Amino acid sequence: MHRCTTALYFSPTGGTRTYVRAVAAAMPHMGGEVDLTRPEERRKVHMFGADDVVVLGVPVYYGRVPEVPGLLDGLQGEETPAVLLAVYGNRLIDDALAELSDLCAARGFRPLAAGAFVAPHTFSAKVAMGRPNAGDLAAAAELGRRAAEKLSGPVRWRPSILPRPVRPTVRSASAAWPVSGLARRAADGWKAPPLPLQRLIWRRH
């Protein structure tokens, strides 16, 4: 089966775009790009079928997928394989990949593989300065090659192996529990474990 690969990214500073392009370039039959940084692209409907594959990347804001109005609303898959990327400023990735996986699954995509990558921190370019470097881009290309290998044979979808549960955002948490309740939950170990740099997360057959 010849799948067409589309690169999708929300990348205000360009780091996420660089990684998404590196992953997608390592996969066969590269199609086009959708820059979700542009509001006019977020307002469009982008539909993908089972014969397509998407590489979707977002930066990590406060450990989560950016709360940008309509960020993924225009994306619609139909059993569409997806390679997911979360790009963070060398602090913690927290729940971003797990949340992105859930959001994509709810829109008809089937997360196949995921990677966490480092780019300069938005608040200080001194943090992770010089990233992505050659090693980062090589790791991104390897993610693309391995995803393509998985897609070359039968794929059996299984529930996500990413850390659960996804913690609520500060805004939704404050509406649900008083501060004392949040403190108790934190004391009980309520925190998703961080992922090491550039750890690749794969679904097992």
pLDDT of the residue at 126: 58
Taking the alpha carbons at both ends of the chain, their separation in whole angstroms is 19
Of 149, 163, 153, the residue nearest 199 (C-alpha): 163
pLDDT of the residue at 10: 97
Region for residue 90 given its phi and psi (left: phi exceeds 0; alpha: psi -120 to 50; beta: otherwise): left
CB contact at 8 A, 90 and 123: no
Parts of the chain with a pLDDT under 50: 170-205
Give the pTM: 0.76
Query: Rounded distance, CA 136 to CA 134, Å?
Result: 5
pLDDT in tens, 71-100: 999 999 999 999 999 998 867 778 899 999
Contacts of 31 (CB under 8 A, 6+ apart): 4, 5, 6, 52
Query: Rounded distance, CA 49 to CA 58, Å?
Result: 21
